[in-house]
């Protein structure tokens, strides 16, 4: 499956209450994935960046998957 139009934006955990879940692919705060120290999360969407995320860095799907798989990164599971 390809996600050519899929984008991801990282936000601070303290900004979760500002997420408009009708504009992203996650359904609620309970479905978000957080980084290892629980200070950041991310949302996925297709197409244009939702206005509530304006000014934040946007990643392509493929670029963000690489970030998640970086064993030395902040998103890699600490098992």
**78 in any annotated domain:** no
Per-residue pLDDT, 77: 82
**15 in any annotated domain:** yes
Neighbours of 8 (CB within 10 A): 21
**43 in any annotated domain:** yes
pTM, rounded to two decimals: 0.90
**16 in any annotated domain:** yes
Question: Residues 36-75: pLDDT tens digits?
Answer: 999 999 999 999 999 999 999 999 999 999 999 999 999 9
Number of domains in the chain: 1
Distance CA 1, CA 79 (A): 28
With residue 12 as reference, give the H or E element that holds it.
strand 6-12
**What is the residue range of 26's domain?**
6-68
Tokens matching residue 35: 């980084």
**73 in any annotated domain:** no
Distance CA 58, CA 50 (A): 11
């Amino acid at each position: 499956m390809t996600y050519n139009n899929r984008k991801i934006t990282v936000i601070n955990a303290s900004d979760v209450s500002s997420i408009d879940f009708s504009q992203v692919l996650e359904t609620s705060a309970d479905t978000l994935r957080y980084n290892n120290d629980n200070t950041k999360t991310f949302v996925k969407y297709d197409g244009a960046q939702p206005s509530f995320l304006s000014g934040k860095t946007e990643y392509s799907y493929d670029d963000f998957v690489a970030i998640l798989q970086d064993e030395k990164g902040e998103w890699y599971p600490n098992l």
